[in-house]
Amino acid sequence: MAKRDREAFRSAIGRQNLAPLWDVLDALVTPEPRSACRPALWRYQEVRPALMESGALISAKEAVRRVLVLENPGMPGQSRITTSLYAGLQLILPGEVAPAHRHTQSALRFVIEGEGAYTAVSGEKTLMREGDFVITPSWAWHDHGNESDRPMVWMDGLDIPLVQFLDASFAENYPEDRHPLERREGDSLARYGSGLLPLDHQPAGASSPVFNYPYARTREALETMRRGEEWDPCHGLKLRYVNPENGDFAMPTMGTFMQLLPKGFAGADYRSSDAMVFNVVEGKGRTRIGDEVFDWAARDVFVVPSWHHHRHEADEDAVLFSFSDRPVQQKLGLWREDRGNR
């Protein structure tokens, strides 16, 4: 068929809201992942002044959530750190309350700076300390407050782009700033976080019933593994947070992990189909992503895009928290990894 005949055909079927697959097939079904997501690093000491300045410009109540979004440089203006995930740095100043609301998006909080602020989820309050991983399940009422005398900063991670893609976003504000408390502080950790479940317990949702995983417990587990020399050539010592009801990931859409890299660690090459967001809890080192090298220190955030070769190196003992959309990929049978050297 002549070129002009094909063009006329495209024009004709376009009026019927049709399009030829053969024009776009190579872009739709790719041999390997193609993404606008780029490797990036946010140095905390460089972004902290802007975060503190935002505290003088707008209150937590007025902003609802005073957050600086970590925008991937390959996707400016889209409020994404990876193709499917959102991340930001939230500031709560002493005496402030971020008012209660709920939404269908699942959220995680990873505490970066300070101690003594709280988050209240579904009627239970928990104090937050550096390195704690805190869950806000989908459609759970939650508010935040700072009863300490210092600013509190944590990284928010949400599945906003994924929920947006599915057209499943719903949100609602609570009529009061604080949602009523219904259980004592620490109830969920005591009830579900010790390898035990109440006799009559029935799962109430897809997220873990434990919503605060204290860093002290996680760090102790890593040190116990260190004594057992359970080193992975790519990851050092790496643990995943789990739902004690079923051993699955702690959250249905976001996998969360903590790993220890001992001083002098030089990791083997690795890549996986889930883009990873890392937050440095302790130590100094670097991550080589493709041909780029990103030097990091405590409290920095960096992102490794999908299917990008990378390797970690530690100048001193380092601990990295990370999260990704791995649970979704694994549920759909899409996730894969490659441990081969280039």
Q: Rounded distance, CA 233 to CA 261, Å? A: 10
- The contacts of residue 171 (CB under 8 Å, 6+ apart) are 101, 102, 103, 104
Does residue 45 sit within a domain? Answer: yes
Count the domains in the chain. Answer: 1
Beta strands 310-314 and 124-129: pairing type?
Answer: unpaired
Does residue 197 sit within a domain? Answer: yes
| The dihedral sign for the CA sequence 280, 286, 288, 294 | positive
Q: Which of 235, 330, 270, 277 is nearest to 37 (CA)?
A: 277
* Cα angle 101-80-31, degrees, rounded to a multiple of 5: 135
Does residue 12 sit within a domain? Answer: no
Does residue 24 sit within a domain? Answer: no
SS3 173: strand
Q: Which domain holds residue 152?
A: 33-338
For 165, the enclosing helix (H) or strand (E) is helix 160-165
Q: Which of 318, 317, 60, 316 is nearest to 302 (CA)?
A: 318
Does residue 11 sit within a domain? Answer: no
Q: What is the pLDDT of residues 227-250, one digit of tens each?
A: 887 799 999 999 999 999 999 999
Find where tokens 């402030």 sit.
96
> Within 13 Å and on the Cβ side, how many CA atoms surround 327?
22
Does residue 170 sit within a domain? Answer: yes
| Whole-number average pLDDT of the chain | 94
pLDDT computed for residue 342 by the predictor: 52
CATH number of residue 71's parent domain: 2.60.120.10
Does residue 120 sit within a domain? Answer: yes
Does residue 152 sit within a domain? Answer: yes
Tens place of pLDDT for every residue, the chain, 342 residues?
Answer: 577 789 999 999 999 999 999 999 999 999 999 999 999 999 999 999 999 999 999 999 999 999 999 999 999 999 999 999 999 999 999 999 999 999 999 999 999 999 999 999 999 999 999 999 999 999 999 999 999 999 999 999 999 999 999 999 999 999 998 888 888 888 888 788 877 788 888 887 899 999 999 999 999 999 998 988 779 999 999 999 999 999 999 999 999 999 999 999 999 999 999 999 999 999 999 999 999 999 999 999 999 999 999 999 999 999 999 999 999 999 999 999 999 765
